Chain A
Amino acid sequence: DAKTTQPPSMDCAEGRAANLPCNHSTISGNEYVYWYRQIHSQGPQYIIHGLKNNETNEMASLIITEDRKSSTLILPHATLRDTAVYYCIVRVNNAGNMLTFGGGTRLMVKP
């Protein structure tokens, strides 16, 4: 799987939008962009994924650039409970394909 680059940490004010960037310049045409988050001492939680179109669900929005070399996860109204490590992963969509976790971005939502 292609590698991703994320900033190690970010702060966000409660109630504001949190925009988490991810670079994946070597992504292949059949690789999807996945986002997971891990709250301290819990298992990772699936957030969203996409191939090339922007995606939105009840948790977040995913914006993928036209060249697919980068993406941004947007939490529209961050709360204190969104404090977590956010992982951006690129992966071929296959049930047998594991996830390769990098360092992620530690998001701290502050009151």
Chain B
Amino acid sequence: GAVVSQHPSRVICKSGTSVKIECRSLDFQATTMFWYRQFPKQSLMLMATSNEGSKATYEQGVEKDKFLINHASLTLSTLTVTSAHPEDSSFYICSAALGSGAYEQYFGPGTRLTVT
């Protein structure tokens, strides 16, 4: 299957700082990428849909000014958590969708964010 990478795999930051998470599709071009968040013992929750070259679409309750998404190329999307607080500590996972007749999504390995 297609490979999606995320960097970093885990990060610890201090409250009030910003953290950038990268999501890359390694062997295919992804017009659309998705960002999910998963709290302990819960299921994945979609945060936003990212389309190359346009603004991201955020789910209800997700602050677009706090979670900045940039999808500058067909293989890279970034999520920046601005002014992070301890309640932002979570597992952040991106996915990328194949197009052209194949629509299954492939997920990155996730980024564990801990805000102290």
Interface residues of chain A, those whose CB is within 8 Å of chain B, are 34, 36, 38, 41-46, 49, 87, 93-104
Contact = CB atoms under 8 A, between A and B. Distances in A.
Report whether over half of chain A's contact residues are helix, strand or loop; otherwise say mixed.
loop
Interface stretch (B12-20, B63-71, B80-88, B90-98): B90-98
Interface residues of B, number: 28
Contacts, number: 59
Interface of B: 1, 4, 6, 31-32, 34, 36, 43-46, 49, 51, 91, 93, 95, 97-99, 103-110, 112
Given A101-B44, A104-B43, A96 B110 contact: no
A44 B49 contact: no
A45 B112 contact: no
A97 B110 contact: no
Given A42-B110, A43-B108, A44-B107, A96 B97 contact: yes
